[in-house]
Each structure stands twice: as C-alpha cells, then as structure tokens.
Amino acid sequence: MRTTGSRGLTRGIGRSAVVAAAVLGTVGAGFTATAAEQASPTSWTASHGGGSASGTASHVNPEGIGADLVVDGTLRVNDSDCYFAKIIVVHDFAPIHYDTAEQCGPGNIPVDKTIRVTLRSWTATIEICRTDRTDCGDPTSINVFG
C-alpha cells in the first residue's frame, strides 16, 4: 500500500482548496444582483377593511451572499379599528413574520422595515391585518426580482 506522506497530503489539500474556491466563486457569481436589480424598487399596495397601504420594496446593500429587503410606505386607517402591516419573508420554505407599528383609529403611520435576506432563495409578501395576525387581507408580492 502506498502512502503519500505529509507533503503529498498538503499538496492534495491545497489543490482541493483551490478547486473549492473556484467552484464557490462561480456559483456565487450567478447570484450577485445586477445594478438594475438593485436600483429598481417594486411598487406595492395592500388593503383590508378600513386599512390600506402603499409603498415600495427594494433590494439594497448587496454584499457577498446577503442583502437587505427595504420596505417603505404609508399605512392609512379610516375607521376605528387597529391595523398594521405584516411582512412575510420565506427563506427555503420557512416563513418569518415581521409586523409594523399599529395604527388605531383614523390616521397614517409609516411602513418602514429593513430585513436581511440571502441570495435569491427568498420570497416576500405584505398584507394589512386588523387587530391580530389572523384577520388579514390578501397578501401582495413584494419580490424585487422578476
């Protein structure tokens, strides 16, 4: 049985590391957002009962495999109930909920959330909810990639 010894093992590990880095660099390059994708915000509108909201969603600050989903807008309430916007981001089939501040009674409040996302393996929606997370309007897509 032939052994490579420590010098052969080191050379083998070195080659493996170079090959792995090249493969990761190639795979990662496919997921980098272009300048157009970073600069083009997606407009959205959502409503439920006496609450409605509109705004934009953007993919900003890309670095490596992560970036920020920035959701901006205004929630408007025209009845006496309490409303908030619920943003749902799904990473690899796992939904995570992000709630905005709540507006009770007539008035306006900003919708402003920054959420860390990775690569393009996520989807996001926004919906307007009354009182709790179960009484909500239809979800509106805020995916920023076509």
Same domain, 23 and 41: no
Contact at 8 Å (CB) between 61 and 68?
yes
**Single-letter residue type at 67:** A
Same domain, 41 and 73: yes
Give the model's pLDDT for residue 7: 52
Position 116 in a domain: yes
DSSP state of 22: H
CA distances from 134 to 53, 115, 122, 137 (A): 18, 22, 23, 9
Q: Rounded distance, CA 124 to CA 118, Å?
A: 12
Position 146 in a domain: no
Give the model's pLDDT for residue 67: 87
Same domain, 16 and 44: no
Same domain, 1 and 56: no
Give the model's pLDDT for residue 69: 92
Q: 69-84 as b/e, with b when 16 or more CB fall inside 10 Å? A: bbbebebbbeeebebb
Give the model's pLDDT for residue 143: 87
Q: Which residues of the chain have pLDDT under 50?
A: 6, 9-37, 39
Same domain, 47 and 72: yes
Q: Which domain holds residue 15?
A: 1-30
Same domain, 92 and 107: yes
Strand, coil or helix: 45: strand
Q: Which residues, including other chains, have CB under 8 Å from residue 134's CB and lie 6 or more apart?
A: none
> What pTM value is reported for the model?
0.71
